[in-house]
Amino acid sequence: MKELFDLTSETAVVTGALGRLGSVWIEALLGAGASVYALDLPGMPVSKAFAELQTRYDDDRLRLARADVRNRPALEKACLECEEKHGVPGILVNNAGIDRPPASNDESYRLEDIPLKENREIFEINTLGLFQTAQVFGSRMTKAGYGSIINIGSLYAGVSPDARFYDHIQDDPPFLKPPAYGASKAAVVNLTKYLATHWAAQGVRVNALSPGGVLGDQDEQFKEKFCARVPMGRMAVSDDLYGPLLFLASRASTYVTGTELIVDGGFTAW
């Protein structure tokens, strides 16, 4: 049974590698035996978590490259380099995305005043950038007749953010989760189904993995409110995400495609 989850000799591509969840997916894949070709923006500083992984794995197992998911030529170049160094990837984790947490220094707006540019950038990266990355790497997978694409969605692909989680934050205007964030992730889930139906005959599976709230540096009042809303009574931690990713990436899910795996501690069950 262990062989079902074994990714030895597999090559995985992970976008948004230097972001908050990038190192979580990368550590899971490396731990299962895969080599990882990690992608992130030019100039993006290396995160502490990624740097720690670099101390444990050499370039043959973990390689960092730079490309913006909105830049097709850069993605094509990265794909060619990946093939030269590691071979055609059999796994793609579309993790690159942006959000606007309360701690950011971005300007706040009232709902009726949110400019289109605020929403446009989120869609460009979270949805259109994901689609373009799937086009570039997925086309190689279809030619090889094998592959698993995992699009990282969100709890908010299916439900609206609860503004009461943030009503203790003394901002004027009050903090609002960007409306385009959940909408972009809902589009990712639908796009997942679209790609899955088109590429299934070529041996490429496409699924979405949608985490619930992941524990980080959120303020204590937010965490208390959020956990009270979760049947399991807590936020997700890295260990909760390894298994779901490996299930979708490995032979354990060879008959699973076009689905959304929600990992939210039961949040959306209520």
pLDDT at 105: 65
pLDDT at 174: 87
Asked whether residue 106 carries a pLDDT value surpassing 80, the answer given is no
**Quick one: average pLDDT of 126-141?**
98
Asked whether residue 103 carries a pLDDT value surpassing 90, the answer given is no
pLDDT at 101: 77
| Mean pLDDT of the residues in the chain | 95
Lowest mean pLDDT among 105-119, 150-164, 232-246, 249-263: 105-119
pLDDT at 104: 64
For the chain, domains (ranges, CATH) are 2-269 (3.40.50.720)
CA gap 254, 232 in Å, rounded: 29
CA gap 190, 49 in Å, rounded: 31
Span 45-56, pLDDT tens digits: 999 999 999 999
Span 8-50, pLDDT tens digits: 999 999 999 999 999 999 999 999 999 999 999 999 999 999 9
Asked whether residue 202 carries a pLDDT value surpassing 90, the answer given is yes
**Quick one: average pLDDT of 172-201?**
95
Strand order in the sheet with 147-152: 62-66, 35-40, 11-15, 91-94, 147-152, 204-211, 260-263
Q: Report residue 246's pLDDT band, with 50, 70 and 90 as the boundaries.
A: very high
Percent of the chain with pLDDT over 90: 89
